[in-house]
Amino acid sequence: MSVDIAEKAVDFILSQKSFLENDSVDFEFIGGEPTLEMDLIDHICDYLKVEMFRLDHPWFNMYRVGFTTNGLTYHTDKVQSFIEKNRKHLDITITIDGTSRKHNINRVYPNGSGSYNDVVKNIPKWIEQFPSCSTKVTVSSEDIPFIKESVIHLFELGIPGIHINVVFENVWKDGDDRLFEQQLIDIADYIIDNNRYTQECSFFSEYIGKPIPLSKNNNWCGAGHMLSVDAAGNLYPCTRFAQYSLRSKKALVIGNIKDGINQNLLRPFLALDRTTQSPQKCLECEVASGCAWCQGENYDSAQTDTIYQRSTAICLMHKARVRANNYYWNKLYRKLEVEGRREEYEQNKREVKSEIC
């Protein structure tokens, strides 16, 4: 992205009255690898702050900047200088997939060598600078045998939050769900037996695996309620609709920073809800809560150019997660009851929830 396009994108966003209904804003830089364009990101952030001050904009001091990095250049002077300058409004996630053998399956240099050793050395500095940080681990079929060892490894590295999800694409093989379930049960045993249940592992939640009443008809995905700008100044309902993110469909452009947003192209996204895109089996599913979907993947995998055909490729994987999740909570609460600590645990949860609210 050129500096000119970047500044015009900021100007466009700050001028949109429809956006100003929000009390605050997140600016997310998405690559490729964002730190390869650290100079540009630094310039955009400086420009953004100056313009919000000049305009007496309601988002001045009510904004966040963030990006997810592979962590290879985290230690460099350029990245560290940016962090020091923007720390109060900054979120950075380093993606480390777990143990070296899991991480190095997909995260390799052009010569084929793995990047794990160069990433892991930057983790202590990252945790020091962002004490409530979390990493995101993505699981596909070939990763399943390494899930348990990777979660344990990430805990041992001291990362406070481990956010894990399976890919939405249809990459799953027969039996993957059972292997997945066993890995999660093994993780549950490790977490509970080693009293690590106060740390966050997103595989386990008390709010998943229940029916969803039809009255709760909200869309899972936020596409259409966010805005993505590419290097040419084109606008998308989410970066997942840009051409480089799609396998089989053409990019879905909803406007540009010169002419604005085409509301007719945006309208289908604003009308999305759960019932209009889900097959009947999903609406009647007894464990529907927590089953996610990606609007971009729905579009990419649909038989036509529609965003109203929900992909259900993760159905068996979600059900496997629910079974393991039930195992986790049953075991945890039995342990707490035996130790006489359940009331203490519940009180701590209420306090944490109150702080978040």
User: Is 99:146 a contact under the CB 8 Å cutoff?
Assistant: yes
pLDDT band of residue 21 (cuts 50, 70, 90) is confident
Look at residue 4 and tell me whether its pLDDT is greater than 80.
yes
User: Stretch 326-351: mean pLDDT, rounded?
Assistant: 88
Q: What is the pLDDT of residue 348?
A: 77
User: Stretch 137-149: mean pLDDT, rounded?
Assistant: 92
User: Stretch 185-214: mean pLDDT, rounded?
Assistant: 94
pLDDT band of residue 116 (cuts 50, 70, 90) is very high
Q: What is the pLDDT of residue 356?
A: 47
Q: Could you tell me the pTM of the whole model?
A: 0.91
Sheet-wide strand order for 200-201: 134-139, 161-166, 200-201
Q: Is the dihedral of CA 77, 79, 80, 84 positive or negative?
A: positive
Sheet-wide strand order for 25-29: 25-29, 63-69, 90-94
Q: What is the pLDDT of residue 17?
A: 76
How would you write 122-182 as a 3-class SS string?
CHHHHHHHCCCCEEEEEECHHHHHHHHHHHHHHHHCCCCEEEEEECCCCCCCCCHHHHHHH
79's CB contacts (< 8 A; 6+ apart) are 35, 38, 73
Look at residue 62 and tell me whether its pLDDT is greater than 80.
yes
Using a pLDDT cut of 90, give the percent of the chain over it.
87
Look at residue 355 and tell me whether its pLDDT is greater than 60.
no
d(CA 230, CA 132): 30
Phi and psi (nearest 5°) for 219? -80, 145
User: Stretch 14-18: mean pLDDT, rounded?
Assistant: 85
Joined tokens for residue 247: 């396998």
| Domain locations along the chain | 3-205
Q: What is the pLDDT of residue 344?
A: 85
pLDDT band of residue 354 (cuts 50, 70, 90) is low
Look at residue 349 and tell me whether its pLDDT is greater than 80.
no
| Amino acid letter, residue 38 | M
Architecture of domain 3-205: Alpha-Beta Barrel (3.20)
Q: Average pLDDT of the chain?
A: 94
Look at residue 338 and tell me whether its pLDDT is greater than 60.
yes
Q: What is the pLDDT of residue 357?
A: 44
Look at residue 105 and tell me whether its pLDDT is greater than 80.
yes
